[in-house]
Amino acid sequence: MTDRFIEVSLDKRGVSCTAKLLDDRAPITCNAVWDALPLGGDVYHAKYARNEIYALLAPFAREEPPLENPTITPIPGDLCYFTFTDTQLGTKSYGYESQAAHQGRATVVDLALFYERNNLLINGDAGWVPGIVWGSVVDGLDRMADACQDLWRAGALGETLTFRRA
């Protein structure tokens, strides 16, 4: 199989990076994402996992992928896939406004980019939250990390995170 690449972008900030799909490690997840591209939505910056940005999406796979190539300690450049139920993301402590697009969905997909070190996927309410590592940034992580830091400091309102074929 030939390598597949996607572009991950913060649209308002005009910053993007290129990631390689990890077809050899997470083939089911890679196919589900690839077949559904382009994908995107409002961007959020993690409160608990540290150096993570993500978009919450409606389910797009025929079946949710199994936990292939799992991690609880993502490294810089990892793209991760998570599946949550509506009740897992329904608490006000997570910072989602009542009008957030994912509210009211029975299942929510979280596509995330980790941009720096020292991440730990643990949730005070639920414990460990393993994610599927399905991609790895191969170009532009430094620019994206700077934009993510700006997102953390300046705010995410009006910004979108988009995944599209490169």
Q: Which two tokens stand for residue 87?
A: 């009740």
φ/ψ (deg, to 5) at 108? -130, 130
Residue recorded with tokens 């910053």: 15
pTM over 0.85: yes
Eight-class DSSP state of 72: S
Residue-wise pLDDT tens for the chain (166 aa)? 799 999 999 999 999 999 999 999 999 999 999 999 999 999 999 987 899 999 999 999 999 999 999 999 999 999 999 998 877 776 665 556 666 656 667 788 999 999 999 999 998 778 899 999 999 999 999 999 999 999 999 999 999 999 999 9
Looking at residue 66, the DSSP 8-state letter turns out to be P
Which among 71, 68, 83 is positioned nearest to 26, based on CA atoms?
68
What pLDDT score was predicted for residue 99? 61
User: Residue holding tokens 């978009």?
Assistant: 55
The identity of residue 44, as a single letter, is: Y
Range of the domain at 138: 5-165
Specify the number of domains making up the chain.
Answer: 1
Give the 3-state secondary structure of 38-58: CEEEEEEECCCCCCEEEEEEC
What pLDDT shows up at residue 97?
A: 60
pLDDT for the residue 91: 62
What is the reported pLDDT for 13?
97
Q: What pLDDT is recorded for position 30?
A: 98
CATH number at residue 138: 2.40.100.20
